[in-house]
């Protein structure tokens, strides 16, 4: 009587944009849960650091450009799940908002469906709206529509402003605050609901684990603050006294047009990565979880607030870095 052993291998998940800010945390979360992770990026040599997130051979960078059919299909082939974290703030070269956030998103969903992928998670953003006058919000909305048309059971995660050690929100303004005495606050009254990057990763892992139904989830942290309040919180955390100067929307639009003109005159050699008209439009709108939508509560996740987390990675921007608290304690002894 013969017997044989069935070899059970861990399931494969392909994470597009897995070396980016949010993507790397999703890769870590999935590796911890035992998935074999393909980190699909345009330049795999720049994603080698992700290999340390799992056991030897568990996390593997692979080359894929979501503007390209063949490499995208190859990255998906054999995977049981796919996560798309690819998104851009402003266009640069062939990486336009439409080619990345609409066509690329739709391509991933279509090829995932054709390959028999069981679960698809698509990272979008609060405010995604195909009818928006903001190009970023419009393409995010059109991208969601393309994803659901191709893969109706996809899960879409819409975070508010995502914060964490490598974020481009608090870090950006903190760098500015260390160099100038005045911190510009555009508009200032728009409300935000910053969400910790680890909590977004946990949401993706929960969906892929099968512990949540497919659908659209809006993800925001426990704190809702205006842009001005967030900047006040920032300067307090980095122990710097700065004047918060409110920039009217008309003045911000003028500045954005000026930066855009410089980019055009240099044929894109100097890209406008400072302030675009689109960013001004978005800063003028609330970015908070809507009414009657699925949220962290539906995923059984309690999002963490900003207090202790900002302290853990904002210290390099303090006047004396990691020694700031020691010096403050010494002053109290006098």
d(CA 324, CA 334): 16
| pLDDT value of residue 5 | 47
**Burial class of 147 by CB neighbour count within 10 A (0 to 12, 13 to 18, 19+):** buried
Q: Are 123 and 207 in contact (CB under 8 A)?
A: no
Give the per-residue pLDDT at 263: 76
Specify the pLDDT at position 235: 96
Low-confidence spans in the chain with pLDDT less than 50: 1-3, 5-7, 330
Whether domain 12-241+274-318 has CATH 3.40.50.720: the reply is yes
pTM exceeding 0.85: yes
Alpha carbons 86 and 97: distance in angstroms, whole number: 11
Q: What is the DSSP string of 192-204?
A: E--EEHHHHHHHH
pLDDT at residue 328, as a whole number: 55
Give the model confidence (pLDDT) of 147-196 as tens digits: 999 999 999 999 999 999 999 999 999 999 999 999 989 887 899 999 99
Reported as a single tens digit per residue, the pLDDT across 112-144 is 999 999 999 999 999 999 999 899 999 999 999
Orientation of helix 69-76 relative to helix 105-114, angle to 10°: 50
Could you tell me the CA-to-CA distances from 58 to 12, 32, 71, 79 in Å, in that order? 9, 10, 21, 14
Beta-sheet pairing, 225-226 with 191-192: antiparallel
Inter-residue contact 243 to 182 (CB < 8 Å):
yes
SS3 at position 156: strand
């Amino acid at each position: 009587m013969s017997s044989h052993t069935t070899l059970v291998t861990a399931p494969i998940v392909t994470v597009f944009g897995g070396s980016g800010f949010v993507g790397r945390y999703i890769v870590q979360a999935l590796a911890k849960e035992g998935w074999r992770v393909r980190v699909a990026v345009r330049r795999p040599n720049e994603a080698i650091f992700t290999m340390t997130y799992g056991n030897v051979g568990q996390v593997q960078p692979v080359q894929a450009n979501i503007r390209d059919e063949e490499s995208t299909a190859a990255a998906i082939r054999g995977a049981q799940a796919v996560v798309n974290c690819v998104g851009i703030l402003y266009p640069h070269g062939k990486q336009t908002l439409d080619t990345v956030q609409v066509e690329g998103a739709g391509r991933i969903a279509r090829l995932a469906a054709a390959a028999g992928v069981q679960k698809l998670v698509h990272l979008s953003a609060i405010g995604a709206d195909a009818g928006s006058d903001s190009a970023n919000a419009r393409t995010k909305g059109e991208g969601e529509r393309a994803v659901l048309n191709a893969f109706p059971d996809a899960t879409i995660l819409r975070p508010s402003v995502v914060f964490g050690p490598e974020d481009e929100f608090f870090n950006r303004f903190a760098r500015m605050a260390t160099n100038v005495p005045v911190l510009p606050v555009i508009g200032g009254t728009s409300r935000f609901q910053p969400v910790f990057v680890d909590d977004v990763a946990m949401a993706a892992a929960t969906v892929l684990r099968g512990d949540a139904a497919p659908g659209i989830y809006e993800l925001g942290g426990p704190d809702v603050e205006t842009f001005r309040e967030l900047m006040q919180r920032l300067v307090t955390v980095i122990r710097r006294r700065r004047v918060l100067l409110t920039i009217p929307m008309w003045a911000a639009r003028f500045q954005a047009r000026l930066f855009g003109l410089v980019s055009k005159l240099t044929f894109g050699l100097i890209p406008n990565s400072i302030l675009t008209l689109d960013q001004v439009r978005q800063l003028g709108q609330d970015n908070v979880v809507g009414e009657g939508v699925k949220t962290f509560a539906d995923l059984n996740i309690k999002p963490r607030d900003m207090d202790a987390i900002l302290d853990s990675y904002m210290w390099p921007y303090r006047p004396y870095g990691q020694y700031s608290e020691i010096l403050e304690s010494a002053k109290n002894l006098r």
